[in-house]
Amino acid sequence: MLNNNFLAYTNKYQLFTSNDSVIVATSGGIDSVVLCHLMYQCKFLFHIAHCNFSLRGADSEADEAFVEQLAEDFGVPFHSISFDTKAISKTWRMSIQETARKLRYDWLETIRVAHHCQVVATAHHLNDSLETVLYNFTKGCGIRGLHGILPQTGYVVRPLLFATKAEITEFADLHDLEFRLDVSNTFDKYNRNKIRHHVVPVLQQINPNLEKTSARTIENLKEVEELYLWSIQHIQKKIFKQEQETLVVDIETLRAYPAPKSVLYESVKDLGFNADQIHQLLERTTFHSGLQFQSATHELLIDRGQFRIKPIVSANEESLFIPLAVGEFQLGQDRLVFSNISAVPIAFSKDKYVAYLTLIHLFFP
């Protein structure tokens, strides 16, 4: 049954075909192990990729060995990498969870490109999507935060999103599958675990079919989001105009439309402005010329009844022509050195003046 639903979901969202090669991100836990078995049973072409975050001592090493054996059993290519996640998180000044996530997805994309695979598949399921919605709602979010986890984001696909945790567990039991257990999933120190262990069970008492009901609600919210974005774009075309590098909109015209805060926020959020700034701005009853709001890269100026949004120009700003991805270039008193590396390093440099970039995302000159 799960096999048929897996194929139907994959086809519905056109996640990959039998001719595609897929990188399956595999931790060794029940979800990713079931995903690997479904890929194998449905005769898809896939590689297995495992990140060792070095966070659980001997258990981390055992996880990697287990996943490597899994790949050998299936007869598929195996890729692995180890990170000193705690050290990197301190250097990046990010939480360990955020650091691990970034390391994981950056490396998976590198592996995907290097081995000419079409997509990376992760084992997120319907319960994960429900927990994401509840978590975002609790923190506060816009409409995007309520659509849950999407079937595809860029080159990352999630072919198990149709399945509940119970269905995945049933499949593993039916096929007597072995998998690794991560005890950190039982700890309440992570907010998502609190939702999983304490919030969802209460909601299931109200609605025993919670996961499937939430799936329908999430589908409805996706359609609402599509309508929302279409409406925003329709209004933008009518009332915004571009004057060279400056985006201009008449304040009273904007305020005459429904949801002016949403219209303005969606128009300037990619320029670094946040929802709180837009809320403060449009809560004003008077708009005096000269008032400014700034993001890291742009300024929003009130000028004679208009919002005018333009880039912040530094007096010392310099341009540098970089023709190729390899070489040394002088920028004022500083020197930029570009070089190619053939493989992802085991540990990234801790030097704050060293950056690693994915070459295929750069365009020269």
* Residues composing the chain: 365
CA distance 125 to 162: 6
d(CA 240, CA 231): 14
Q: Which domain holds residue 154?
A: 2-217
Q: Name the residue with higher pLDDT: 190 or 217.
A: 217
Report how far Cα 302 is from the mean position of its chain's Cα atoms: 34
- 309 sits in which H/E element: strand 306-311
Q: Give the residue-averaged pLDDT of 330-348.
A: 69
Residue 323 has pLDDT above 80, yes or no: no
In three-state secondary structure terms, 92 is helix
Which CA distances in Å does 364 have to 13, 114, 251?
A: 34, 20, 40
pLDDT category, 365, cuts 50, 70, 90? Answer: low
Kindly state whether residues 74 and 197 are assigned to the same domain: yes
* pLDDT tens-digit readout, 74-110: 999 999 999 999 999 999 999 998 999 999 999 999 9
Distance set, CA 196 to CA 101, 133, 216 (Å): 20, 12, 20
The span from the CA of 7 to the CA of 18, in Å, is 11
Same domain, residue pair 206 and 253: no
DSSP-H helix ranges across the chain:
2-12, 30-41, 58-74, 85-92, 96-114, 126-139, 165-174, 191-194, 200-206, 210-239, 251-256, 260-268, 275-282
- Domain count within the chain: 3
Asked if residues 250 and 240 have their Cβ atoms less than 8 Å apart, the reply is no
**227 assigned to some structural domain:** no
What pLDDT, on the 0 to 100 scale, is given for residue 341?
76
CATH of the domain at 78: 3.40.50.620
pLDDT of residue 250: 96
**276 and 137 fall within a common domain:** no
What is the mean predicted confidence (pLDDT) over 15-39? 97
- Average pLDDT for the chain: 90
Q: Is 214 exposed, middle or buried (0-12, 13-18, 19+ CB in 10 A)?
A: buried
Same domain, 53 and 198: yes
Q: Is the pLDDT of residue 188 over 80?
A: no
Residue at 100 is within a domain: yes
Task: Encode pLDDT of 223-237 as tens digits.
Answer: 999 999 999 999 999
pLDDT of residue 309: 96
Residue range 294-315, pLDDT digits in tens: 999 999 999 999 999 999 876 5
On the question of pLDDT at 247 being above 90, the answer is yes
Other beta carbons within 10 angstroms of residue 312's beta carbon come to: 12
Whether the pLDDT of residue 352 is over 90: the answer is no
